[in-house]
Amino acid sequence: DTGVSQDPRHKITKRGQNVTFRCDPISEHNRLYWYRQTLGQGPEFLTYFQNEAQLEKSRLLSDRFSAERPKGSFSTLEIQRTEQGDSAMYLCASSLTPAADTQYFGPGTRLTVL
């Protein structure tokens, strides 16, 4: 068990550019979550996958955000036409159903939009 990994750990981009983040969950976990966390706040839910199916997406999520989990293993989160308000820590977590929903978090990707 190597834990949840995320890449890159830090990303600095200019406004209007596209960025893509990757998450590798714990290998046998079939649930995968993406969150956004800003300073002084808790994780804010973005989207949820069970295997390769995206079952839930936050209504707050702009259509500039898209996520995939093509083979039910790793996942990518893409932000198109980034804005300064997108600057945040992006967290990925995985869990194994039906283990009472305990989530295992990655270290996060810190995005800075200039």
Partner 1 sequence: GNSVTQMEGPVTLSEEAFLTINCTYTATGYPSLFWYVQYPGEGLQLLLKATKADDKGSNKGFEATYRKETTSFHLEKGSVQVSDSAVYFCALGPSGGSYIPTFGRGTSLIVHP
* 70 versus 100: smaller Cβ distance to partner 1: 100
Q: Is residue 32 within 8 Å of residue 94, measured between CB atoms?
A: yes
From candidates 18, 41, 62, 112, binder to partner 1 by CB under 8 A: 41
Q: State which H helix or E strand residue 65 sits in.
A: strand 65-68
| Tally of residues, the chain | 114
Question: What is d(CA 45, CA 107) in angstroms, rounded to the nearest whole number?
Answer: 16
Least separation in angstroms between residue 112's CB and partner 1 is 17
Binding site for partner 1 (CB under 8 A): 4, 33, 35, 40-45, 48, 50, 55-56, 58, 91, 93, 100-108
